[in-house]
Amino acid sequence: MSGFHTNSKVIGWVEQRLPIFSFLHHSAVEYPTPKNLNYWWNFGSLAGFQLVVMILSGIFLAANYTAHTSLAFDSVERIMRDVNYGWFMRYLHANGASMFFLLVYTHMLRGLYYGSYKAPRELLWWLGVVIYLCMMGTAFMGYVLPWGQMSFWGATVITNLFSAFPVVGKFIVTWLWGGFAVDNPTLNRFYAFHYLLPFVIYALMVVHLWALHTVKSNNPLGIDVKTPQDTIPFHPYFTIKDLFGIGVFLMIYMAFVFWAPNFFGEPDNYIKANPMVTPPHIVPEWYFLPFYAILRAFTMDLWIIPAKLQGVVAMFSAIIVLLFLPWLDTSKVRSAAFRPIYKQLFWVFVADCVVLGYCGGKPPEGNLVMIGQLATAYYFLHFLVILPIVGKIEKTRPLPASISSAVLKPMEKA
Amino acid sequence: MRKLILTVLAALSVAGVSQTALAHEGPALQKPGFSFEGVFGHYDQAALKRGFQVFHEVCSNCHGMRLVAYRNLKEIGLTEDEAKAVAAERQIQDGPNDEGAMFMRPGRLSDHYIPPFANDNAARANNNGALPPDLSLIAKAREGGPNYVYSLLLGFDEAAPEGHTVPDGMFYNAYFPGGNIGMPPQIMDDLVTYADGTKATKEQLAHDVVSLLNWAAEPELDARKTLGLHVMIFLTVLTALFYALKVQIWKDVH
């Protein structure tokens, strides 16, 4: 914390007692950042920005929302109609969830492409996976709050998944519901946790950044920073680059908020929840569709393991497998830029996720069942078989000596 | 940079595929073109007012619009007195009064549109067992939105295909899921006599009432699109400045 000096008596007084200014200087001004970061590195700060947008808009919504089965739907409509700029807050929040996932998925794929999960960044990656899990929980519970048809039936389907576990399943479901069906106690606890989890995510984000600032950022070349010539200070270089990124992101985000606010939504959720009427297709929000496809890929009971249990276990495994990724990928080279085979496989994996998402959004009929099953098989094959083998047999391209030496030559495009 | 934007757009379109994957079954929707569509779209006040006349004189005999208050009618061009008069046409239960008794009184501006039936059971009993849905959000609560409602209203003309049986008391409508709908055809030429002299053709009636229903579902649309334009102009300038600064600050790196 050497770079911080002040002539102000007040700041000096505070600094002696709580070194907050030198801390900020150290982590937001001096922080040495690889100078070759491309725009894919913007998505981390964008996700952080979006978390703040979600928390702020969420607090304003919470101030006007009523968590009761008979009032929730109308309280949301009151926000839309009678609360000043309530429609703006709600559309910010509802579209913001989709944007948040879009940013985080891009951030994760960036990590996958450039090998950002590899040593020494395993814990950084783990913290990210935990943040992602918390996001999924938060988003799921948030979607229940407007108490529309898809809210209610989504909650019913997803909570019922736990009934797949033998013996205890039934009790877990009753415990989750706080009763014998999705009802007022369920809505109340979902609201409580929907308000709590974003702050847990915020705390995790701080630890994520702590880990990041300890091991420092990866970069498109995937090689370690070797000399001070490889880095530039975070401020002003990345503060301005991140601000520019936020500007571009806001333009895309606001286009949805103002001109297509229900693009990501389901029309059915503008029908008040009715336990007596099941919608023809119950679909989760788009960001859960690949996992929904994995859940439904298992259609055959095996011995004593019913198909539903297989699906549930597979769905959770699809996320848990990410925790093992730093060791499943056996290649010592981080960046796909120097891994000719992995580079192709990465895009195959992305395509596989898109196919899964497509299958998850359609009714499981005809060829889609088989396609969903093959895509599910490939998802696990990618992590459990292909990555360990490719890392061993792949002939990687020679790595540049340092970031600055590579920057002087024409750079490998992502 | 361009590649990045393209990728983001590609990702968004993928998300879009998953939405359209669930589009309704049945014939393609009729798209008459509404003034409120598109980036610069706004409600046509005259159409909303005519649409309200249709809703009030015809639809509201069976359908409610419980999320719209009588005071909101001023937003579509009714004067305060006209809105008060509309409100007073129906009775609503109030109370208890000082003696502890419930009583009926005419509707006021602060009341929400008073539904035609006391409850769902009464509505079913009066409609051959079918429940006429509340129309406050119908333009947002169906795949296809206003185009779906428009198509449905005008979709009674075709005869049911061979082999399709329509139960007693129901009507064939290809746009309705399953094809059989409890609502009889309503929209016919000169169904109402428009106060502003517009010729009340079937298409005109359907267009106007759907405009009104879209307003009922999205009363904020005008304000939203206007604010959106301002926000987008602001963001364009701001982002351009950020970009210029970025280029300036980074010019010595590399």
Chain A residues close to B229, C-beta within 8 Å = 258
Distance of CA B200 to CAs A118, B193, B197, B205, B230, Å? 70, 7, 8, 6, 37
DSSP letters spanning A306-371 = -HHHHHHHHHHHHHHHHHHHHHH---S---GGG-HHHHHHHHHHHHHHHHHHHHHHS-S-THHHHH
Structure tokens belonging to residue A396: 């990687």
Write the burial class of residue A129 (CB in 10 Å: 0-12 exposed, 13-18 middle, 19+ buried): middle
Closest CB from A40, A87, A271 relative to B224: A87
CB A74 within 8 A of CB A263: no
Quickly count: other Cβ atoms within 10 Å of residue A82's Cβ.
13
**Which chain B residue has its CA at the smallest distance from A267's CA?**
B141
Whole-number Å distance between alpha carbons of B203 and B178: 24
Do B160 and B55 share a domain, yes or no?
yes
Judge whether B7 lies within some domain.
yes
Judge whether B80 lies within some domain.
no
- Active site annotation includes A285: yes
Do B168 and B117 share a domain, yes or no?
yes
The residue with tokens 């889609």 is A368
Interface test with A, best of B20, B246, B250, B254 (most A CBs within 10 A): B246
Do B176 and B135 share a domain, yes or no?
yes
Do B35 and B134 share a domain, yes or no?
yes
Judge whether B102 lies within some domain.
no
C-alpha triplet B129, A268, B135: angle, nearest 5°: 55
Structure tokens belonging to residue A246: 């936020």
Structure tokens belonging to residue A391: 């890392």
Sign of the alpha-carbon torsion through A305, A306, A309, A313: positive
Do B28 and B46 share a domain, yes or no?
yes
The residue with tokens 């600032």 is A213
Q: Coil, strand or helix: which one is B151?
A: helix
ipTM: 0.92
CB A32 within 8 A of CB A175: no
Type of residue at B141 = A
C-alpha triplet B240, B246, B251: angle, nearest 5°: 130
Quickly count: other Cβ atoms within 10 Å of residue A324's Cβ.
12
Do B169 and B236 share a domain, yes or no?
no
Judge whether B137 lies within some domain.
yes
Type of residue at A241 = K
Do B116 and B55 share a domain, yes or no?
yes
Do B130 and B163 share a domain, yes or no?
yes
**Which chain A residue has its CA at the smallest distance from B39's CA?**
A259
* B107 sits in which H/E element: none
* Confidence at residue B188, expressed as pLDDT on a 0 to 100 scale: 95
* A78 sits in which H/E element: helix A72-81
- Active site annotation includes A213: yes
Closest CB from A80, A241, A357 relative to B246: A241
Structure tokens belonging to residue B35: 């003034």
Judge whether B174 lies within some domain.
yes
Do B135 and B51 share a domain, yes or no?
yes
Determine if residue A3 is left, alpha or beta; phi over 0 gives left, psi from -120 to 50 gives alpha, anything else beta: alpha
Cβ partners under 8 Å of residue A259, min gap 6: B39, B225, B228
CB B213 within 8 A of CB B76: no
* Confidence at residue B11, expressed as pLDDT on a 0 to 100 scale: 53
* Confidence at residue B25, expressed as pLDDT on a 0 to 100 scale: 64
Backbone angles phi and psi of B105, in degrees to 5 = -145, 160
- Residue A233's DSSP bridge partners are A32
Whole-number Å distance between alpha carbons of A404 and A411: 11
Asked if the C-beta of A109 comes within 8 angstroms of chain B's C-beta atoms, the answer is no
Whole-number Å distance between alpha carbons of A192 and A183: 15
- Active site annotation includes A241: yes
- Active site annotation includes A15: no
pLDDT tens-digit readout, A256-288: 999 999 999 999 999 999 999 999 889 999 999
Determine if residue B181 is left, alpha or beta; phi over 0 gives left, psi from -120 to 50 gives alpha, anything else beta: beta
Write the burial class of residue A396 (CB in 10 Å: 0-12 exposed, 13-18 middle, 19+ buried): middle
- Active site annotation includes A74: no
Do B134 and B252 share a domain, yes or no?
no
* Confidence at residue A410, expressed as pLDDT on a 0 to 100 scale: 53
Domain range for residue B227? Answer: 221-254
Taking the model in full, what pTM does it have?
0.93
DSSP letters spanning A130-193 = HHHHHHHHHHHHHHHTT-BHHHHHHHHHHHHGGGGSTTTHHHHHHHHHTSSSS-HHHHHHHHHH
Structure tokens belonging to residue B150: 């428009």
Low-confidence ranges of chain A (pLDDT < 50): 1, 413-414
Q: CATH topology for A30-413?
A: Cytochrome Bc1 Complex; Chain C (1.20.810)
Closest CA to A331 of A343, A349, A318: A343
Domain boundaries, chain A: 30-413
* A124 sits in which H/E element: helix A122-144
C-alpha triplet A384, A386, A389: angle, nearest 5°: 100
pLDDT tens-digit readout, B133-166: 999 999 999 999 999 999 999 999 888 899 999 9
Do B149 and B244 share a domain, yes or no?
no
Judge whether B84 lies within some domain.
no
Local confidence pLDDT in tens for the 254 residues of chain B: 445 545 555 554 544 444 444 445 679 999 999 999 999 999 999 999 999 999 999 999 999 999 999 999 999 999 999 999 999 999 999 999 999 999 999 999 999 999 999 999 999 999 999 999 999 999 999 999 999 999 999 999 888 899 999 999 999 999 999 999 999 999 999 999 999 999 999 999 999 999 999 999 999 999 999 999 999 999 999 999 999 999 999 998 86
Q: Coil, strand or helix: which one is A233?
A: strand
Residues 126-165 of A with CB under 8 A from B: none
Whole-number Å distance between alpha carbons of A287 and A285: 6
* Confidence at residue A3, expressed as pLDDT on a 0 to 100 scale: 76
Whole-number Å distance between alpha carbons of A99 and A254: 10
C-alpha dihedral (A255, A260, A264, A265), degrees to nearest 10: 140
Count of domains for chain B: 2
DSSP letters spanning B221-237 = HHHHHHHHHHHHHHHHH
Residues 75-134 of B with CB under 8 A from A: none
Catalytic residue from among A285, A329, A352, A394? A285
Do B135 and B227 share a domain, yes or no?
no
Interface test with A, best of B6, B19, B237 (most A CBs within 10 A): B19
C-alpha dihedral (A36, A37, A39, A44), degrees to nearest 10: -170
